[in-house]
Amino acid sequence: MNIEFKNINKHFGAVHANADIDFNINSGTIYGILGENGAGKSTLMKILSGFIHPDSGEILLDGQQVRIDSPADAIKFGIGMLHQDPLDFPPMLVIDNFIVGQGGKFLLSHKTVINEFQELQDQFGFSLDPYTYVDALTVGERQQLEILRLLWLGAEVLILDEPTTGISVQQKEKLFAALKVLAKQGKTIIFVSHKLEDVEIMCDKVAILRKGQLVGEVVAPYNINQLVEMMFGKQIVINEPKSLVTEEIVFELDNLCIEQYPITIENVHFRMRAGEVIGLAGMEGSGQDVLLRACAGLLRPVSGRVIVNEKDLTGKTYHDFMRHGVAFLPASKLEEGLVPELTLAEHFTLVTSHKKQLFIDKPFFHDKTKQKIDDYRIVGQPETPVEALSGGNQQRASLSMLKDSLSIILLEHPTRGLDIESAIYMWDKLKERCAGCTSIFFISADLEEIIRYSDRILVFFSGHVSDPQDSSKISLEQLGQMIGGKGWDRTLTDEETYEAITQP
């Protein structure tokens, strides 16, 4: 299906999120939409998929002007959108999720549907079991399910919003292969991303948005530097980070065993030095998150000890860990990190432990918030409720709320969903902390990020934890194999591992 955007405009308050967007997408192409956070990509896609209405402008499908009032309308026109967070029903069966959006027929033959489901997934080499529950699937599998569902509903256009976030390398390859097949069949694929490497291998043509405006369109093959310049309006230089490791041991896991169904992690010995950065690599659900939460005091280990600054905190609560200089930044900001409906100023009031009078000194906290907003370049006001901030700004806000002197910061996916500039900024700030002798322990699905920023790497494979790998001695390919369960022959016995770590 050919899609034409004609002078699309959309305002959110004072923000001109889409300004006179005007371009065409031809059927059978994989079309990339590039831009940093807040450039207007999502807005444009939400307009196309009926979630929001443009203030002015037209959309033409195969030359016909259409009015798309709701997502249900969009799918009737053959437009399906795959969201960054899958919009499915986790407590339901895969097959029920598959059926759920289907309109019209009241009675369904399960058998026919299952046959169609199998046929469809065979085309792409997916292997989803229709009778498992959706909450047992990984993000990548949920994405596959959603693609199948949209195709089954008759989607001719698939919009994918940051589809490679949070899925494994293997799933990414599968996804890309499936998309290529679909494009060959004549379907239109719109690929929204800020990851240049994905866009580079996938897209036939890209449109670049910046601050709500269409900067230009580029046809493959691409010059990456040119794309970056178009996205940000300037060249971006990535500095190689320096290692800031000291000799002082700040954190120790002693023979730690943790169980969190279905993951069991056994006998982790590990010592971390002040200023060190440790990356936890592994496919989603391999146990990294379990270990990280145990390090924060959010999960009680079955046996073993967690030692922070020579104090045994095993079995203590998260708040005890906080008092001893441990901070935890979870991945889902609005569920576990920031309180929805509370403003930035209210957050800073909550996290400030000194100034404990009965009444809130509002001018004081207003000024303090203003200062933090400037320091961390958060786009917002002290009165802005946190859910109104963009993902990147929520991440910055969370970072800015950390106490000044910390021993260790535990992070889940610190740069997930951030554009290059924001990600670089995030790491600059974290490295500043390292210079102040804070250690960083982080999970990421982005292996390049792990290799670039870590001093040492722990690799996870279904609950097994590797001995720490020196990041300067491991290649991207080796790491990719290890998270897939290969190349583990070098694993030492527990005693040997312990020796190796204690004599860095």
Partner 1 sequence: MKQSRNRSLSILFQFGGLILSLGFVTVILLLVDANPIQAFSLIWQGAFGNPTRIANVVVAWVPLALVTCGVLATFTAGLWNIGIEGQITLGAIFTTGVIRLFLNTSVNPVLVIIIAVLAGVVGGILWAMLAGVLKVFGGVNEIFGGLGLNFIATALNIGLIFGAWSRPGVASMSGTEPFPEIYWLPTVGSFRFSWYSIALTLIGLVVIYFLLQNTHFGLKLKAVGKGIKSAYRLGIPTWQYMMLAFLVCGLFAGLAGALQVVAVYHRLIPAISSGYGFMGMMIGMLINYQAIWVAPVALFFAALNIGGIQLPIIMKLDSTLSGVMQGSLVLFILLMQGVQQRVLGKK
Pairing of strands 64-66, 56-61: antiparallel
Closer to partner 1 by Cβ: residue 360 or 476: 360
Query: Footprint of partner 1 on residues 65-124 (CB under 8 A)?
Result: none
Per-residue binding string, partner 1, 395-434, x by CB under 8 A, is: ------x---------------------------------
**Least Å distance between CB 299 and partner 1?**
14
Are 250 and 300 contacting, i.e. CB atoms less than 8 angstroms apart? no
**Amino acid letter, residue 72:** A
Please report whether residue 388 would count as binding partner 1 according to CB under 8 A. Answer: no
Pairing of strands 277-282, 263-273: unpaired
Query: Footprint of partner 1 on residues 143-172 (CB under 8 A)?
Result: none
- A 10 A CB-CB count for 458 gives 23
Give buried/exposed letters for 174-199 (b at 16+ CB in 10 A, else e): bbbebbeebbeeebbbbbbbbbbebb
**Least Å distance between CB 156 and partner 1?**
26
**Amino acid letter, residue 147:** I
Are 217 and 205 contacting, i.e. CB atoms less than 8 angstroms apart? yes
Among 66, 99, 220, 322, binds partner 1 (CB under 8 A): 322
Query: Footprint of partner 1 on residues 282-311 (CB under 8 A)?
Result: none
**Least Å distance between CB 405 and partner 1?**
15
Sheet strands side by side (includes 303-308): 263-273, 249-260, 303-308, 311-312
Cα 24 to Cα 22: distance, rounded to the nearest angstrom: 7
List the beta bridge partners of residue 214.
209
Closer to partner 1 by Cβ: residue 349 or 466: 349
**Least Å distance between CB 401 and partner 1?**
7
**Least Å distance between CB 403 and partner 1?**
9
Are 6 and 58 contacting, i.e. CB atoms less than 8 angstroms apart? yes
For residue 272, give Cα distances in angstroms to 24, 257, 325.
53, 18, 14
Closer to partner 1 by Cβ: residue 286 or 398: 398
Closer to partner 1 by Cβ: residue 142 or 347: 347
Among 105, 234, 242, 319, binds partner 1 (CB under 8 A): 319
Name the DSSP letter for residue 170: H
Among 22, 26, 53, 477, binds partner 1 (CB under 8 A): 53
Closer to partner 1 by Cβ: residue 87 or 360: 360
Closer to partner 1 by Cβ: residue 277 or 327: 327
Closer to partner 1 by Cβ: residue 347 or 372: 347
Sheet strands side by side (includes 56-61): 15-25, 3-12, 56-61, 64-66
HSE-up of 290 (CA within 13 Å, CB side)? Answer: 26
Per-residue binding string, partner 1, 4-33, x by CB under 8 A, is: ---------x--------------------
**Amino acid letter, residue 121:** Q
Query: Footprint of partner 1 on residues 328-367 (CB under 8 A)?
Result: 328, 330, 334-342, 346-347, 349-351, 353, 356-360, 362
Q: Number of residues in contact with partner 1, rule: CB under 8 A?
A: 30
| Lookup result for tokens 């996205």 | 231
**In this structure, what token pair is assigned to residue 193?**
């991303």
Residues making contact with partner 1 (CB under 8 A): 13, 52-53, 318-319, 322, 328, 330, 334-342, 346-347, 349-351, 353, 356-360, 362, 401
